[in-house]
């Protein structure tokens, strides 16, 4: 444009609507240009729906199969073996352990190694042949009612079908034996008892991630990082100093959830409250370390938030919070094992509902420690000590 003003009389003013559309067009073009440079946002738009589809489609199974099952054999009989085979044939159960030791049987259930325990009582075959309709005792770990529900339902149909071809059984219209299922740990299958501990883990994951995901990017964006780097303070010191206050906040948040759960929903705490507190603190620190790692990887605060959300999604779906862990295919379980929430959910459900001890939970505790150290190591090595 030259400096001379256009003669207004001669120039035809474009219509109001044209100008309206033109200005919208200008804005639209600018947004598209900016979006094109924001690769992470674009990646998020593609990754999140794709991840949801794949996880819901392939990993999640609300009718979990192949649930680990232990068998307590009080007698060794053909009929018992037939029933066990029939159980496996339903594909709901996978017998991982057969034992004659009642204590071991209990321990397997207590530690969460198996979700079902089947007890074939003494004299089962004799009673069966007599037509006494003996009971097959099934103990189900009901800390996760979704997981055990459909398998228990399948057991009842088993009573009529399992021994259909066994000629030695008196032919009656009623089933030759009955299944006496006993839901351990949450016998009434109250969903709050399962949801409250789960929520504790999920809420802590989300809030702790958000707190620290912005920790480093905020400093970089506001320009304070340069001052911080020019001062005699090391990356480890910066990280620990930034994480520490949120451990306290997370702990208060956790206490609030547990307290409200106990008061409002009468969620019991069978285990040691101090153990729960210690392991919850460990879980909080692990999540903070993961969030902090995102903030060292992200270029800006938006990216850090997007990373946190992308990480939270598999936590929600693959940890066993919404859907039974045992029902997922092997690959999804492996991914689940790398998520802190998976281990914490086992810990918190076990302590609150089963009264488990640290010895029962050593694998999950150790996993949390390892995940925390891995995250911290990545964060410290990724932290740019210089502006290079």
Binding positions for another protein, rule: CB under 8 A: 222-227, 229-233, 386-388
133 vs 218, beta carbon nearer another protein? 218
Q: How far apart are CA 388 and CA 223, in angstroms?
A: 15
CB of 284 to another protein, least distance (A): 25
CB of 238 to another protein, least distance (A): 10
CB of 218 to another protein, least distance (A): 10
Give all strands of the β-sheet with 67-73 in edge-to-edge order. 93-99, 67-73, 116-120, 135-141, 178-184
Look up residue 215 and give its two tokens: 């920790």
CB of 351 to another protein, least distance (A): 39
What SS3 state is found at 91? coil
CB of 234 to another protein, least distance (A): 8
CB of 214 to another protein, least distance (A): 13
Q: How far apart are CA 87 and CA 76, in angstroms?
A: 16
Q: How far apart are CA 306 and CA 302, in angstroms?
A: 6
245 vs 259, beta carbon nearer another protein? 245
Look up residue 4 and give its two tokens: 């001379």
Q: How far apart are CA 165 and CA 168, in angstroms?
A: 9
Can you tell me which residue has the tokens 């810990």? 347
76 vs 299, beta carbon nearer another protein? 299
**Measured CA distances, 135 to 5, 26, 90, 172, 238 (Å):** 100, 77, 19, 16, 63
170 vs 241, beta carbon nearer another protein? 241
CB of 193 to another protein, least distance (A): 43
CB of 233 to another protein, least distance (A): 5
101 vs 237, beta carbon nearer another protein? 237
Q: How far apart are CA 59 and CA 78, in angstroms?
A: 37
102 vs 226, beta carbon nearer another protein? 226
137 vs 229, beta carbon nearer another protein? 229
Q: Is the dihedral of CA 98, 107, 134, 146 positive or negative?
A: negative
**Nearest to 208, CA basis, from 375, 51, 320:** 375
Strand 116-120 relative to strand 135-141: parallel, antiparallel, unpaired? Answer: antiparallel
238 vs 345, beta carbon nearer another protein? 238
Q: How far apart are CA 161 and CA 85, in angstroms?
A: 12
Q: How far apart are CA 369 and CA 347, in angstroms?
A: 13
243 vs 267, beta carbon nearer another protein? 243
**Nearest to 320, CA basis, from 303, 332, 304, 302:** 332
CB of 387 to another protein, least distance (A): 5
Angle, CA 94 vertex, CA 367 and CA 321 arms, to 5°: 45
């Amino acid at each position: 444009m030259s400096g001379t003003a256009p003669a207004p009389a001669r120039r035809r003013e474009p219509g109001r609507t044209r100008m309206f559309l033109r200005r919208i067009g200008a804005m639209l073009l600018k947004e598209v240009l900016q979006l094109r440079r924001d690769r992470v946002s674009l990646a998020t738009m593609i990754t999140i729906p794709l991840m949801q589809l794949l996880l819901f489609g392939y990993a999640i199974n609300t009718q979990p199969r192949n649930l680990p099952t232990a068998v307590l054999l009080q007698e060794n009989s053909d009929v018992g073996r037939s029933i066990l085979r029939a159980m496996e044939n339903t594909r709901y159960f996978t017998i991982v352990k057969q034992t004659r030791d009642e204590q071991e049987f209990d321990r397997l259930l207590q530690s969460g190694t198996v979700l079902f325990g089947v007890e074939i009582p003494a004299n089962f075959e004799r009673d069966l042949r007599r037509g006494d309709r003996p009971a097959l005792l099934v103990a189900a770990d009901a800390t996760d009612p979704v997981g055990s529900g459909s398998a228990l339902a399948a057991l009842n149909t088993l009573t009529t079908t399992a021994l259909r071809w066994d000629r030695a059984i008196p032919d009656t219209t009623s089933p030759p034996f009955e299944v006496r299922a006993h839901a351990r740990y949450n016998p009434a299958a109250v969903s709050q008892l399962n949801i409250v501990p789960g929520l504790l883990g999920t809420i802590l994951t989300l809030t702790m991630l958000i707190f620290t995901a912005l920790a480093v990017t905020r400093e970089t964006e506001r320009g304070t990082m340069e001052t911080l780097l020019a001062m005699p303070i090391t990356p480890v010191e910066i990280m620990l100093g930034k994480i520490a206050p949120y451990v306290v906040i997370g702990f208060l948040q956790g206490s609030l959830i547990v307290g409200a759960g106990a008061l409002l929903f009468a969620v019991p705490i069978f285990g040691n409250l101090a153990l729960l507190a210690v392991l919850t603190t460990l879980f909080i620190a692990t999540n903070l370390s993961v969030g902090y790692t995102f903030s060292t990887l992200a270029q800006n605060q938006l990216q850090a938030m997007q990373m946190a959300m992308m990480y939270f999604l598999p936590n929600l779906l693959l940890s066993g919070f919404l859907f039974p862990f045992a029902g997922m295919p092997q690959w999804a379980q492996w991914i689940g094992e790398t998520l802190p929430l998976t281990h914490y959910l086992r810990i918190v459900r076990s302590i609150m509902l089963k009264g488990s001890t640290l010895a029962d939970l050593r694998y999950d505790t150790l996993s949390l420690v390892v995940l925390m150290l891995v995250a911290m190591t990545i964060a410290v090595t990724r932290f740019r000590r210089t502006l290079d």
